[in-house]
Structure 1
Amino acid sequence: MNTIRWLVDKHLDNQKSYPQLAEAAQFLQQNEVVAFPTETVYGLGGNACSSDAVAKIFAAKGRPADNPLIVHIASYPQLDGIVADISDKSKQLMNAFWPGPLTIIFQKKEGAVSDLVTAGLDSVAVRMPDHPVALELIKESGLPIAAPSANRSGKPSPTTANHVMEDLDGRIAGVVDGGQTGVGVESTVIDCRGEHPIILRPGGITKEAIEAIIDKVEMSTSVVDKEEKPQAPGMKYTHYAPSAPLYLVEGTPEWIQSIVNEKTKSGMRVGVMAASETVGEYDAHTVLDCGSRSDLASVAHHLYDVLRKFDETDVDVIFSEVFPEEGVGVAIMNRLDKAAGHKWLRQINHS
């Protein structure tokens, strides 16, 4: 398959963008799959009402079929056609954060979307992306668009069209290249159907921001039994992983460097992912800066790009510093923990 690359202006200021978007929308209407930018990461979109289209998403990614997809919409009438009920708390969150990186779990309207989208669950995850290219593409297609991240399953999510092509060239119909994405980590997923709203996946909208709107919310442990169907993406499988084994290391730079030295002496090529404040303190085969500890949004923005850059090197192992689990740091550490397969090294007596 020849994967088309449509170059568009990120802000749609250039009228030349519209023919490319119209062509991409036609592919979606023909139940082909097309990657496109959102404010979080690039998504791999297909007609949420077509099982043929959704099956192509799973096939292109190599994604397990019991992992549900998020449906992307561009208008509230589209939501009414998908969901059976909208709770008051869901309405409050929609008013506060849509369009934006917040996915809400609703009771689905029977037969409205393919069962492959919801992995056979009675719920459906929906969000309205805050990106002009994504919104225009969805409007142009006239369809609700099911879209996980546009990468091979398990790999770091893509924040540029180049990342998409690295993983999916020849496997999808096309990619709408709208430049680099913004937030960098995926949307927050929240279930408001019960009495107590619960965040199933931390993301671009923080727990603190949500609680400022609807008071107390709970945070899922994100642990799903291997026989159980996850209620939302990112709850069950190892995600976001670079090719080399990744370890999270919690300790002083001196202690981390001692581990690097030990591995280097054994003949291994070591990579280190560090904050801007400490990146200069490491001597290793490859040391990459992933953003400032005092600006965790910068870490979220660079996280996947840095993980992918390690794949361009010949490192045998990667050690990553850890970050405060506050604000968007919760999402950062959620992704890093999954990328590392929950492998941690901690300095004894380190406070």
Structure 2
Amino acid sequence: MRTKVLDETRIEEAGAVLRAGGLLGIPTETVYGLGADGLNPEAVAHIFQAKGRPQDNPLILHIPSADWLERYCEEIPPEAYALAERFWPGPLTLILKRKVLVPDAVTAGLDTVGMRCPAHPVTRAIIAAAGVPVAAPSGNTSGRPSPTNVADMLEDMDGKVDAIVDGGPCSVGVESTILDLTLTPPRLLRPGGVTLEQLEAVVGSVAVDKAVRQLLRGDEQPRAPGMKYRHYAPKAPVTVVKGDGAAAARYIRRHLADGDGVICFNEFVPLFEGHPVEPMGPEADQAEQARRVFDALRYFDGTPVSHIWAMCPEESGLGLAVANRLNKAAGFHIVQAGK
């Protein structure tokens, strides 16, 4: 298969790929997605094949507007519409009870489904042109860092998908927040571009699932993407160092060995001269860290480093999402730097 790269004007052609049961790379504000007709089990199965994705890892259905929710979900609570009004289009996925027309291939056999309306206008137009919800995980080989531009997705998916739409670089840089509205109180299953604090401002108390800060056991079924398996990982092993920037930098300096690389806040780059270093933004700029974290992880796959040390932001605001991605990349190998 030869993968085409389509520009943003070729919406009808992109929609036709989906209607024909093909695989389409789609740009979103979070990361690039690997999309297929979410009502076609055979097309959805090709997503798992292309990514090498475990079959018990559910997918998200992408829709162009909130008024599509009733087509695929039932028992929709008022909170869903309140959150959609506040955050859609945007980086928020809502877990709701599914209708029977949603295939088991999308939900991994669960009676729930994740629903999202992406902020990228081209992708919403493609979904509308296709006339079907689009099932789409991130467009990377399973376990690798997610792609935030066309070049990253081609690196993993060239020859495996029919086409990729070039919508430019992603503005958020980490996958969507996932909130389960079938539980009381609602439960945060994955942190992302909509913060825990923003969710609480709309719906009140929100529980945080244990999978946000640790791996699920092998016998536990994930209720949403990204909960169970090691994700976002470069080839070299990663150690996450928690603590304020200065303390984390001192810890890394003490333990840095020949052949090691470092992901750090911009202010500390000069401390690691002589080692491959990838900055991920200023310590105080969580939005820039979110945009840069996957690029930083991918960078080291083009280097001979044997180990990667990564500074970690505070787990508040967008920092919770960045920390979650780094921790998963490290397989939750985390150390705490002293003061």
* TM above 0.5: yes
Q: Is the 8 A contact 1:270 1:284 kept in 2?
A: no
Bigger mean CA deviation after superposition, 85-94 or 329-338: 85-94
Matched, 1:184 2:173: yes
* Secondary structure in structure 1 of the residue aligned to 2:210: coil
**Cα offset, 1:252, TM superposition:** 3.8
Q: In the alignment, which residue of structure 1 is the partner of 2:34?
A: 44
Deviations 1:199-256 (A, max 9, x none): 1111100011111111111111114331222000111000000111111123442331
Q: Distance in 1 between matches of 2:75 and 2:192?
A: 24
Deviations 1:323-343 (A, max 9, x none): 111100001111100000111
**Cα offset, 1:195, TM superposition:** 2.5
Q: Is the 8 A contact 1:291 1:298 kept in 2?
A: yes
Matched, 1:249 2:238: no
Amino acid across the alignment from 2:188: I
Runs of 4 or more, structure 1, over 6 Å off, are: none
Q: Distance in 1 between matches of 2:283 and 2:43?
A: 41
TM-score under structure 2 length normalisation: 0.96
Aligned length: 332
* Secondary structure in structure 1 of the residue aligned to 2:322: helix
Amino acid across the alignment from 1:280: P
Q: Distance in 1 between matches of 2:158 and 2:23?
A: 12
Q: Distance in 2 between matches of 1:328 and 1:193?
A: 24
Q: Is the 8 A contact 1:150 1:158 kept in 2?
A: yes
Q: In the alignment, which residue of structure 1 is the partner of 2:160?
A: 171
TM-score under structure 1 length normalisation: 0.92
* Secondary structure in structure 2 of the residue aligned to 1:231: coil
Matched, 1:137 2:133: no
* Secondary structure in structure 1 of the residue aligned to 2:43: helix
- Structure 1 unaligned spans of 5+: 9-16
The root-mean-square deviation of aligned C-alpha atoms, in Å, is 1.1
Matched, 1:294 2:284: yes
- Structure 2 unaligned spans of 5+: none
Q: Is the 8 A contact 1:257 1:283 kept in 2?
A: no
Aligned pairs (5 A) from 1:17-56: 17=9, 20-56=10-46
Q: In the alignment, which residue of structure 1 is the partner of 2:267?
A: 277
**Percent of residue pairs bearing the same amino acid type:** 43
Matched, 1:231 2:223: yes
Q: In the alignment, which residue of structure 2 is the partner of 1:11?
A: none
Q: Distance in 1 between matches of 2:184 and 2:235?
A: 42
Q: Distance in 2 between matches of 1:27 and 1:94?
A: 28
Matched, 1:211 2:200: yes
Q: Distance in 2 between matches of 1:85 and 1:45?
A: 26
Q: Distance in 2 between matches of 1:100 and 1:76?
A: 11
